[in-house]
Chains A and B, each alone.
Chain A
Amino acid sequence: MTTAPAPAATLGSEVTIDRLSVNYGDFTALRDVSLTVPAGTTTALVGESGSGKSTLALAAGRILPPGASISGGSVTVGDTELTALRGKALREARGHTAAYLAQDASAALNPVIRVGKQIAEVHQVRCGASRAEAAELARQGLADVGIPDPDRVARLYPGALSGGMRQRVIIAIALAFRPQLLIADEPTTALDVTVQADILALVSRLQQQCGLTVIWITHDMSVVAELADHVAVLYGGRLVEHTDVLTLFEGARHPYTQALLTCFQSGRFAGPKQPFTTISGSPPVAGPPGGCPFHPRCPQADARCGTELPAPRRVGHDHTAACHRLEETP
């Protein structure tokens, strides 16, 4: 007989990403990224589009698309080295080790199955719950993500729900796996600011209640400010800076992080009809150039930056950055 699992006290596990590289064919989209996410905390992954955020997330969840491959390094969630798993073990680990929340909630839901059933199926498969038990767990799951009248909503098809409601259902499905790691890939980018605020509040409540470990991908610095404990900044497939959120906002050391922050802050503080601060140029499309990936756009670049790749190094307690000129740019 199966009993309904008790509400999780601490679901989350520590996540260690060690020198991870990912290729799409010949193209290396992520190179040598190392990152530790302490259990029960949130790390925000930021960077412009194409920087490799989704690639890192998909690799961490072992759900890369066909044609993509992990070409080096490892991902470990709790005691499980995900990158060592194959076949059945991998299929079982997916979902309950690392659950993935996509930006487009509608694509992640089956349009012809009632939402309650979609959640219940996870419980039936995961812990062999009976149909009645699974239905009750699904109803509870919908209530947990703040859906009013879960009995009614459980019987609806995804098409009858608003974008915000669908995103909540996706979160309920992800949590039904009782994952050790929740990977959220820009799940609020397409939502209204009010709905985004509800989802951010929901995830941070769940995170605190269940001790979830979260990797939250965004290109919005204000979302980082609200949610993150730590921040990892990616550029051209490389990790360029990594530190706690307050240090990032108040003592960023990498010129790219500084430029991102200046863009964001000027957007909020500059006067009416004043020009917005930009980062000149655009991120590499066909793979980063030699040397420092940021050098074509960096105001501080010198000759060395065009030829030599800066390695990440420690620049403070719990703070690494990859730049040749850190001494000169405090």
Chain B
Amino acid sequence: MSAPQPAPGTPLLEATGITKRYGQYTALDDVDLRIETGRTVSIVGESGSGKSTLARIIVGLERADSGTVRFRGEAIRGRRSRHAFRRSVGMVFQDPYESMDPRLTIGEIVAEPLRAHGMYRDGGKERVRELLDSVGMHGAEPDAYPHKFSGGQRQRVCIARALATDPDLVICDEPTSALDVSVQAQILNLLLDLQSRRQLAYLFITHDLDVVRRISDEVDVLLRGTVVERGTAEQITRSPEHTYTQRLLGAVPAISPRQRHIGPPLDIDTPAPRPPHDAKEDPA
């Protein structure tokens, strides 16, 4: 691209004054967001707080009522700049199955953004293979259909698709919420690894505060369309200031039955009643 070099200190992405209304309802109210190259910003908040709306506005899937999104200092306005920007940003959604066309093979799914940006003709096939390898799908047939794969493998395919145009920013909207803990960990490791290898920046949407603490540099807390607290991952998850953030953290279930704070108290000295014939499963 022929864009001039941004001034030093310019963030990779900067959104200012984003406001979005659906009829009478204000889904986002004057939201600012700033993401530096190679860093991870997480957005947390309850469902309906506007997280996905913000993500969709940033990638241009939806139009804000007011506000500006700048990429490397350049305002994204109009069709051309939006199309060019789309090439620099990938998106991964919560439900890998819903976000892919089941009639396409996984190779075609990964190739979608390449075709959209006229990048397929030149070595597209090899590029698809390489992308599948880079997300740990070694040996997966590009001709296979998504239904043949597990949820974790499908999410890997979606990540490969998001990386196809070699973006600088990937927006992840609850990418692991639908997955098992062990698979969740594999996907998060993949995202961490890709970040350090490619200097990727992430905008990460999740409601898992353990994940937030582990992967984020900065955290924005969204409440009914407004950012109520912003800080480093450490600040937000260890010493939150806003009562809403405190409430979110207070709702996280315990790590051990000894630290129960939601369920019935566990009487450690008098164990719970035992089944009278608990040796039943013993082979005779």
Q: Does B bind A?
A: yes
Q: Is residue B262 contacting chain A, with contact meaning CB distance below 8 A?
A: yes
Q: Is residue B102 contacting chain A, with contact meaning CB distance below 8 A?
A: no
Are A318 and B274 also in contact (CB < 8 A) when A193-B251, A225-B256, A276-B189 are? yes
Contact string against B for A residues 261-276, beta-carbon threshold 8 Å, 1 for contact and 0 otherwise = 0011111111111111
CB < 8 Å: which of B247, B252, B281 contacts A222?
B252
Q: Is residue A2 contacting chain B, with contact meaning CB distance below 8 A?
A: no
CB < 8 Å: which of B216, B233, B266, B279 contacts A246?
B266
Contact string against A for B residues 208-238, beta-carbon threshold 8 Å, 1 for contact and 0 otherwise = 1111011110000000000000000110000
The complex places the Cα of A245 from the Cα of B278 at a distance, in Å, of 15
CB < 8 Å: which of B211, B260, B266 contacts A267?
B211
CB-CB nearest in chain B for A223: B253
Q: Is residue B255 contacting chain A, with contact meaning CB distance below 8 A?
A: yes
Q: Is residue B186 contacting chain A, with contact meaning CB distance below 8 A?
A: yes
Contact string against A for B residues 6-43, beta-carbon threshold 8 Å, 1 for contact and 0 otherwise = 00000000000000000000000000000000000000
With most chain B CB atoms within 10 A of its CB, the pick from A162, A267, A285 is: A267
Contact yes or no, A239 B281, CB < 8 A: yes
Q: Is residue B98 contacting chain A, with contact meaning CB distance below 8 A?
A: no
Contact yes or no, B185 A36, CB < 8 A: no
Are A225 and B283 also in contact (CB < 8 A) when A264-B181, A278-B186 are? no
Contact yes or no, A249 B256, CB < 8 A: yes
CB-CB nearest in chain A for B275: A36
Q: What's the minimum C-beta distance from B96 to chain A, rounded to whole angstroms?
A: 14
The complex places the Cα of A267 from the Cα of B183 at a distance, in Å, of 12
The complex places the Cα of A85 from the Cα of B282 at a distance, in Å, of 28
- Report A206-236 residues with CB < 8 Å from chain B CB: 207-208, 219-223, 225-230
Contact yes or no, A200 B248, CB < 8 A: no
Are A273 and B215 also in contact (CB < 8 A) when A222-B255, A278-B189, A312-B281 are? yes
Q: Is residue B79 contacting chain A, with contact meaning CB distance below 8 A?
A: no
Q: Is residue A34 contacting chain B, with contact meaning CB distance below 8 A?
A: yes
The complex places the Cα of A249 from the Cα of B268 at a distance, in Å, of 13
Q: What's the minimum C-beta distance from A315 to chain B, rounded to whole angstroms?
A: 10
The complex places the Cα of A225 from the Cα of B46 at a distance, in Å, of 23
Contact yes or no, B272 A263, CB < 8 A: no
Q: Is residue A38 contacting chain B, with contact meaning CB distance below 8 A?
A: yes
Q: Is residue B99 contacting chain A, with contact meaning CB distance below 8 A?
A: no
Chain A residues with CB under 8 Å of B150's CB are: 282, 285
Q: What's the minimum C-beta distance from B93 to chain A, rounded to whole angstroms?
A: 15
Q: Is residue B197 contacting chain A, with contact meaning CB distance below 8 A?
A: no
- Report B240-284 residues with CB < 8 Å from chain A CB: 247-248, 250-264, 266, 268, 271-275, 277-283
Are A225 and B185 also in contact (CB < 8 A) when A268-B210, A272-B213, A272-B214 are? no
Chain A residues with CB under 8 Å of B263's CB are: 200-201, 204, 226-227
CB < 8 Å: which of B152, B253, B275 contacts A282?
B152
Q: Is residue B151 contacting chain A, with contact meaning CB distance below 8 A?
A: yes
CB < 8 Å: which of B251, B258, B272 contacts A41?
B272
Interface size class of B (residues with CB under 8 A): 35 or more
Contact yes or no, A197 B262, CB < 8 A: yes
Chain B residues with CB under 8 Å of A41's CB are: 272-273
CB-CB nearest in chain A for B44: A193
Contact yes or no, B259 A225, CB < 8 A: yes
Q: Is residue B192 contacting chain A, with contact meaning CB distance below 8 A?
A: yes
Q: Is residue A10 contacting chain B, with contact meaning CB distance below 8 A?
A: no
- Report B171-222 residues with CB < 8 Å from chain A CB: 180-186, 188-189, 192-193, 207-211, 213-216
CB-CB nearest in chain A for B214: A272
Q: What's the minimum C-beta distance from B86 to chain A, rounded to whole angstroms?
A: 28
CB-CB nearest in chain A for B258: A246
Contact yes or no, B188 A276, CB < 8 A: yes
The complex places the Cα of A236 from the Cα of B234 at a distance, in Å, of 38
The complex places the Cα of A201 from the Cα of B251 at a distance, in Å, of 10
Contact yes or no, A263 B255, CB < 8 A: no
CB < 8 Å: which of B47, B185, B280, B281 contacts A263?
B185
Are A242 and B257 also in contact (CB < 8 A) when A49-B151, A272-B233 are? no
Contact yes or no, B254 A194, CB < 8 A: no
Are A226 and B282 also in contact (CB < 8 A) when A38-B274, A194-B247 are? no
Contact yes or no, B253 A222, CB < 8 A: yes
Q: What's the minimum C-beta distance from A276 to chain B, rounded to whole angstroms?
A: 4
Q: What's the minimum C-beta distance from A313 to chain B, rounded to whole angstroms?
A: 6
The complex places the Cα of A14 from the Cα of B210 at a distance, in Å, of 36
CB < 8 Å: which of B48, B192, B248, B264 contacts A193?
B248
The complex places the Cα of A313 from the Cα of B278 at a distance, in Å, of 11
Q: What's the minimum C-beta distance from B89 to chain A, rounded to whole angstroms?
A: 22
Top-3 shortest CB links A-B: A276-B185, A222-B253, A226-B263
Instruction: Please report B residues at the A interface, Cβ cutoff 8 Å.
Output: 46-48, 150-152, 180-186, 188-189, 192-193, 207-211, 213-216, 233-234, 247-248, 250-264, 266, 268, 271-275, 277-283
Q: List 18 A-B contacts (CB under 8 A).
A: A192-B207, A195-B46, A196-B253, A204-B263, A219-B180, A222-B253, A222-B255, A227-B263, A239-B281, A244-B271, A246-B258, A263-B182, A271-B214, A272-B215, A275-B193, A318-B274, A320-B279, A320-B282
What would 13 more interface pairs be, CB under 8 Å, given A249-B257, A276-B188? A192-B207, A193-B208, A193-B251, A196-B253, A208-B264, A219-B181, A220-B253, A222-B255, A230-B272, A244-B271, A246-B268, A266-B185, A314-B282
